[in-house]
Amino acid sequence: MGFSLVAAAAIIGVSILVVIGTFTGSLLPAVTDISDSYEDMRDRIIDKIQTDIDITNVNTPVNGSNYDLSITLENTGSITLKTSDFSILINGTLHPFTCSNSYIYPGNNVYFNVTNLSGTGQRRLKVAAINGVSDYYDYTIT
């Protein structure tokens, strides 16, 4: 009877060690991944807080029966932004664009050009950075 009690305790002890080892082996990578995700989210939030853009001017020169859109954008935040990561929407529709520079540094301006647009009337322009910060501008085509 004494030996069976020791054997049972040894089996239970070894089983507990195996369970702890398995649990730790699967838990540590998950905790590390969660920690990395929170760190990435924190960095994105900080970048978003420090990002600000302002549409300072919009020109609409006529191009035959259509018109072009020349947008002057100022980076009023403290983060350098890559201009290829911007989105330009006119009345909610995404439009391709060209830009004068690859980056817009804090305190500087860049010029976006959207060409060969059609239609008349009231338009709403939205310029959005990669992190969701945006600015709006209303203009009218006659």
| pLDDT per residue as tens, the chain (142 positions) | 567 788 888 888 888 888 888 877 777 788 788 888 899 999 889 988 999 999 999 998 887 788 999 999 999 999 999 999 999 999 999 999 999 899 999 999 999 999 988 888 899 999 999 988 999 999 988 7
What is residue 32's DSSP assignment?
H
pTM more than 0.85: no
Long-range CB contacts for residues 79-84, cutoff 8 Å, separation at least 24: 79/47, 79/50, 79/51, 79/106, 80/104, 80/105, 80/106, 81/51, 81/53, 81/129, 81/130, 82/130, 83/110, 83/112
The rounded distance, in Å, linking the Cα atoms of 121 and 141 is 5
The rounded distance, in Å, linking the Cα atoms of 43 and 5 is 56
Residue type, 49: I
